Amino acid sequence: MKRGNKIILLTFGDILFDQRLQKSIRSLEQAGYEIIVFARKLFPESPDRNIHALRYRPLFSRGVMAYLEYNVRAFLKLVFSRHHVVVSFDLDTLPAAIAASYLKRLVVIHDAHEFFVESPELVLRSKVRAIWERIACFCIPKVDRAYTVGNAIAQAMQEEYGIPFEVIRNVPMVGEENEMKGEGSEIKFPKPYIIYQGALNTGRGLEQIIQAMKYFPDINLVLAGRGDIELYLKEMAVSQTLSNIYFVGNLRPDELKIWTKKAIFGLNLLENMGKSYFLSLANKFFDYIEAGIPQICIDFPEYRALNSRYDVAILVESCDEHLLLEGFNILLKDTEVYQRLKSNTAIAIRELNWELESEKLVRLYNSWLSM
């Protein structure tokens, strides 16, 4: 299977805000691999100058034509490039890789960020989901190697598609290369505040969080991200005359770390709207640990297992407003519990960090591409 050390990486999103992608590139390049990223240009800013990216301005920003445009462009790039190793970040880029593999010898590696066909965006749209299920069932069994973000999803996808999935978790970088510069001195933070980082999409408890904020007028809520229900959430905050809700949009990883570090605690909530959420292991769980802040977290299998070991979060059974209020009150008023959880984050990060996880990533690639 050996094809040298040149890899082309496919991602449907813009690379500016994808921490997993940026960390993977850095680790693989330090191990001697040459990485080129093929991505859409959704924002005018340039990526890290150390990342070699081929970005294009899409004709279609969303919907079926956006996926079709990307995969056609990626297919042509793969066919006419000299690269023989392609890494497909998530299912939405995999058709191009599999199609190109029929025309030239390619090693296809699949990095599944989530259980794609079980995401709420598809679970709630049965016809669209049926199409993606066909794509998944056709493409995923044909990849040469695959990995995903957590043990629960790895097991579920292995059972679904009949191929083994390794696990590379989305843990944060904590080494010298990732030190924050300036500590955000030029940023006006709405202190004191709690933070949610991630997509503003359905099924993430965001409506309930905003509802809960009316009981804490002296505490601000920072929502760091964008998504399908962003406008609805803004209208909700306005309709309830809540002046303590701040929408700061997508932040680059270095900026996000500064915002998170200065928060009182973080929020990691999900509704059980499919296996992708129920079996998830989100970046934010680890990012809050790295920032040294406790969190209120949904009591789903992966989070429960980690919290039973490290004790860094208040777990809630659902996104029910009353359960959230209870969690808020514990972290805002019970100093002993707050300090215990905060202290435990410093212990947990010694094991839950990218410096350790990247060693596994490099070992996997070395073994896969030397065969």
> What does the pLDDT look like over 228-255, one tens digit per residue?
899 999 999 999 999 999 999 999 888 9
Per-residue confidence at 19, pLDDT binned at 50, 70, 90? confident
Query: Could you identify the residue written with the tokens 């200065």?
Result: 262
**Surface-to-core class of residue 180, CB atoms within 10 Å of its CB (0-12 exposed, 13-18 middle, 19+ buried):** exposed
The predicted model scores a pTM of: 0.89
User: Residue 171 and residue 361: Cα distance in Å, rounded?
Assistant: 12
Handedness of CA 191, 194, 199, 201 (dihedral sign): negative
Please write the tens of the pLDDT for every residue from 68-85. Answer: 999 999 999 999 998 899
Instruction: Tell me: do 320 and 361 sit in the same domain.
Output: no
Number of separate domains in the chain: 2
Instruction: Tell me: do 233 and 329 sit in the same domain.
Output: yes
Assess if residue 297 is contained within a domain. Answer: yes
Q: Mean pLDDT throughout 98-116?
A: 94
Q: What is the CATH number of the domain that holds 334?
A: 3.40.50.2000
Helices (H), 102-243: 120-123, 126-139, 151-161, 206-213, 230-239
User: How many residues comprise the chain?
Assistant: 371
pLDDT exceeds 70 at position 4: no
Please write the tens of the pLDDT for every residue from 310-325. Answer: 999 999 999 999 999 9
pLDDT exceeds 70 at position 110: yes
- DSSP 8-state symbol, 262: T
Q: Coil, strand or helix: which one is 232?
A: helix
Per-residue confidence at 358, pLDDT binned at 50, 70, 90? very high
Instruction: Tell me: do 150 and 191 sit in the same domain.
Output: no
Q: How far is CA 140 from CA 13, 90, 165, 172, 360, in A?
A: 20, 10, 11, 27, 22
Instruction: Tell me: do 102 and 209 sit in the same domain.
Output: no
pLDDT exceeds 90 at position 47: no
pLDDT exceeds 90 at position 169: yes
| Residue 98 near residue 120 (C-beta atoms within 8 A) | no
Instruction: Tell me: do 214 and 307 sit in the same domain.
Output: yes
Assess if residue 227 is contained within a domain. Answer: yes
| Residue 158 near residue 274 (C-beta atoms within 8 A) | no
β-strand partners of 9: 37, 87
| Residue 149 near residue 170 (C-beta atoms within 8 A) | yes
Assess if residue 116 is contained within a domain. Answer: yes
User: Residue 348 and residue 287: Cα distance in Å, rounded?
Assistant: 11
Instruction: Tell me: do 276 and 357 sit in the same domain.
Output: no
Which residues constitute the domain of residue 362? Answer: 6-171+353-368
Instruction: Tell me: do 260 and 360 sit in the same domain.
Output: no
Instruction: Tell me: do 126 and 275 sit in the same domain.
Output: no
User: Residue 368 and residue 153: Cα distance in Å, rounded?
Assistant: 21
Assess if residue 1 is contained within a domain. Answer: no
Structure confidence at residue 44 (pLDDT): 73
**CB-CB neighbours of 181 under 10 Å:** 7
Run of H or E residues at 357: helix 354-368
**Surface-to-core class of residue 173, CB atoms within 10 Å of its CB (0-12 exposed, 13-18 middle, 19+ buried):** buried
For the chain, the C-alpha Rg in angstroms (whole number) is 21
- DSSP 8-state symbol, 141: G
Instruction: Tell me: do 136 and 16 sit in the same domain.
Output: yes
**CB-CB neighbours of 243 under 10 Å:** 11
Assess if residue 176 is contained within a domain. Answer: no
Instruction: Tell me: do 35 and 145 sit in the same domain.
Output: yes
Percentage of the chain beyond pLDDT 70 is: 94
Instruction: Tell me: do 244 and 146 sit in the same domain.
Output: no
Q: Mean pLDDT throughout 56-77?
A: 93
Assess if residue 59 is contained within a domain. Answer: yes
